[in-house]
Amino acid sequence: MDSSERSEWDYDLADCEPDEWFIVFHRDSDRWWVRWLAAGRYKHVSAFGFNTNTQTWTFVSFLTGRLRVLTVSDRQANRLLAFYSREGTVVQMPAPAKDDQAFRPKLVFTCVSAMAHLVGLPGCALRPYAFFRQCLRNGGSIVVDDKHESPRERRDEAPGAPVST
């Protein structure tokens, strides 16, 4: 078999990953101790991304009890996109290099370190606001900016509970 031919079982796992990641910096949490520990503007971090090969969206959130990974079709994504991006700032991050095999251990595993690991950032901030700054320093760009609205104003427009952490 010619080396350029691929069998149906031979594929690159990187083709199954989103083309880019959108990191969501949430301004609120439903846990008082998370709000206290995560001093600063943001209290939780999650992510979502779109895979053009599979036409699916992947949503990732590291909660206090578990890692949640959701995959939905492009048709079904609107409700999750609204949920994950409400009351927060969304930063678009380039996908890590497909062949990136760098060893990047994290000393503490939190929502911040999980999302830093997801996008392949070296080192790790401890709190969401420091991670926000780290993303911007490493090629991230703000695509949804909520700095002109308070969580209370947004909650009045789109009722719902704070993001579960």
Domain spans, the chain = 17-156
pLDDT of residue 161: 43
Cα 130 from Cα 141, distance rounded (Å): 15
Chain position carrying tokens 């009890």: 65
The predicted pLDDT at position 85 comes to 79
Q: What is the 3-state secondary structure (H, E, C) of 57-93?
A: EEEEEECCCCEEEEEEEHHHCHHHHHHHHCCEEEEEE
pLDDT value at position 150? 38
- Least Cα distance to 129 among 83, 157, 77, 89 occurs for 89
DSSP 164: P
Task: Identify the pLDDT of residue 141.
Answer: 95
* Contact criterion met (CB below 8 Å) for 47 and 139: no
CA 11 to CA 15: how far, in whole Å?
8
- State the 10-residue block means of pLDDT for the chain, 165 residues long: 57 79 90 74 92 93 86 90 86 78 67 89 84 94 74 39 51
pLDDT number for residue 98: 65
In the numeric block, which tokens belong to residue 131?
């991670």
Residue 152: per-residue pLDDT: 38
Single pTM value for the model: 0.78
| Residue recorded with tokens 């401890």 | 126
DSSP structure class, residue 18: -
Secondary structure (3-state) at 48: strand
